[in-house]
Chains A and B, each alone.
Chain A
Amino acid sequence: MVDSTVISKPQEVRISEVIELLKPRVMSLVIFTAFIGMIIAPTSINPILALASLIFIAIGAGGSGALNMWWDEDIDRLMKRTRNRPVPTGTVSGDDARLLGLWCSGFAIFMLALTANFLAAGILAFTIFFYVVVYTMYLKRRTAQNIVIGGAAGAFPPLIGWAVVTNGIALEPILLVLLIFLWTPPHFWALALVTKEEYSLAKVPMLTVTRGERVTRRYIFWYSLSLIPIGFMIAFSSIGGPLTLGLVIVLNIMLTLGSYQVMTRDAEDSASDGYNREKALFKLSIWYLFVMFAGLGVESMLHAFYEPYLVWPEVF
């Protein structure tokens, strides 16, 4: 007799599972930072073209997310945080995830080239390549610097947004790329401290696994400090102003204090309170980036209406 449970198990993929493959949370960060890259640009763009470009950038980000899930199926299955993803649970096959990822990526690059320009499409293509091939396929399983170098992939969206509007590259979006690039390690390592065992089980050479907690805590602090000069450079550039300067000061004091507290603790302290400070630093880092970029967006609007900006010192 044939087992009826096997036959009755639905094999059709739900839309919600397809959307999950596209990593909607990462996608939302990409949309947000690319959008800010667009509105801080010195020239303007037709809002329909801006919206369409954002949609294609989001689809590109989703495609790279699906390709990441296809390649990382074996790792995802071993980690608590990722074991419920569609590919490890078997609701979507790895081949389908790969196909979806390739189609989304190709479609997004092609459409962005038609909607905006070849430069923006080129940077999007490079970002997808960097995230999928350089980070996911190469760095992630080989080096403890995986998220340091791989973080570049997540840093490019503001540059794409800027390129969509201006068809060029300037120092200002590069500073934003640098900000996200240097923000990524402390953000991920704070999470890695909490989920250290999982990375170890999955044999992913995170810094917490290869060099231990003490070194990771020190690195978190130093990387947090490295954000300070970048913040000041942004504040005194053409996209900065008093609001950005205020945010840079407040946010960096908070991040520095948070990372200092994490640095001065050891595994025993953390275990005793369930890694509260590390979790708090992880959340703070998310707010840091969100508030910083939102502030830049508000500042760009103030530039147009508020006269004192005419005397704001643009050093960079």
Chain B
Amino acid sequence: MAISKEHELHARRKSRNIFVSLALVAFVFLVFAISIAKFQDGQLIEGFDHSYRATLLKVEE
């Protein structure tokens, strides 16, 4: 068997790595798109950033 620099094993590994990379990038974009879609739908967004939650504050007359 001839010794070649690029064994089939490397080709398989490369194609798999490319696929996994693309899948990860696609996932990042998908999560971003989901976030934007949820914001656009006007759903309640409250961050727990050490400040009072607006919905828990008493309504002042």
| A interface residue numbers (CB < 8 A to B) | 4, 8, 10-15, 46, 48-49, 52, 55, 114-115
The answer to whether B34 touches A4, judged by C-beta atoms less than 8 angstroms apart, is no
Measured in the bound complex, the distance between the Cα atoms of B12 and A48 in whole Å is 33
The answer to whether B37 touches A49, judged by C-beta atoms less than 8 angstroms apart, is yes
Is B33 among interface residues, defined by CB-CB distance under 8 A? yes
Map CB proximity to A onto B5-35 as digits: 1 under 8 Å, 0 otherwise. 0011100110110010000000000100110
The answer to whether B34 touches A52, judged by C-beta atoms less than 8 angstroms apart, is yes
The answer to whether A48 touches B34, judged by C-beta atoms less than 8 angstroms apart, is yes
**Closest 5 CB pairs between A and B?**
A12-B12, A48-B37, A46-B37, A10-B9, A15-B19
Map CB proximity to A onto B41-58 as digits: 1 under 8 Å, 0 otherwise. 100000000000000000
The answer to whether A14 touches B34, judged by C-beta atoms less than 8 angstroms apart, is no
The answer to whether B12 touches A14, judged by C-beta atoms less than 8 angstroms apart, is yes
Known A-B contacts A4-B1, A48-B34; the reply to A10 vs B40 at CB < 8 A is: no
A residues less than 8 Å from B9 (CB atoms): 10-12
The answer to whether B1 touches A48, judged by C-beta atoms less than 8 angstroms apart, is no
A residues less than 8 Å from B16 (CB atoms): 12-15
| B interface residue numbers (CB < 8 A to A) | 1, 7-9, 12-13, 15-16, 19, 30, 33-34, 36-38, 40-41
A residues less than 8 Å from B12 (CB atoms): 10, 12-14
- The listed residue (A4, A10, A15, A49) touching B38 by CB distance below 8 A is A49
B12, B30, B34, most chain A CB atoms within 10 A: B34
Q: What would be 16 A-B contacts, judged by CB atoms less than 8 Å apart?
A: A8-B7, A10-B7, A10-B9, A12-B9, A12-B12, A13-B16, A14-B15, A15-B16, A15-B19, A46-B38, A48-B34, A48-B37, A49-B34, A52-B30, A114-B34, A115-B34
B residues less than 8 Å from A52 (CB atoms): 30, 33-34, 37
Measured in the bound complex, the distance between the Cα atoms of B13 and A13 in whole Å is 8
The answer to whether A55 touches B38, judged by C-beta atoms less than 8 angstroms apart, is no
The answer to whether B36 touches A48, judged by C-beta atoms less than 8 angstroms apart, is yes
- The listed residue (A10, A11, A46) touching B41 by CB distance below 8 A is A46
Measured in the bound complex, the distance between the Cα atoms of B35 and A48 in whole Å is 10
A residues less than 8 Å from B34 (CB atoms): 48-49, 52, 114-115
